[in-house]
Amino acid sequence: MERTVAWLGVALPEQVLFLLKSGVFLCASGVILYVALASSYPAVHDTLHNFRHALAVVPCH
């Protein structure tokens, strides 16, 4: 018998809930990495400029 967990008012099997949470976490991580390493927005770029060069992987010029 599968255990269900109520999340946001919806009862979902525990395995499905784990997959949803994992997907949200991976998407959020990807967005944060993109903004930190690939964004050309001046406030982010100027703040992380030295960090980008220290990685020697992310070109910024």
Judge whether 45 and 60 are in contact, CB under 8 Å. Answer: yes
pLDDT of residue 16: 87
Rounded to 5 degrees, φ, ψ at 5 are: -125, 130
> Does the pLDDT at position 12 exceed 60?
yes
> Does the pLDDT at position 31 exceed 90?
yes
Measured from the Cβ of residue 25, the count of other Cβ atoms closer than 10 Å reads 10
The residue among 5, 22, 1 whose CA lies nearest residue 13 is 5
Instruction: Tell me the sheet residues that pair with 12.
Output: 5
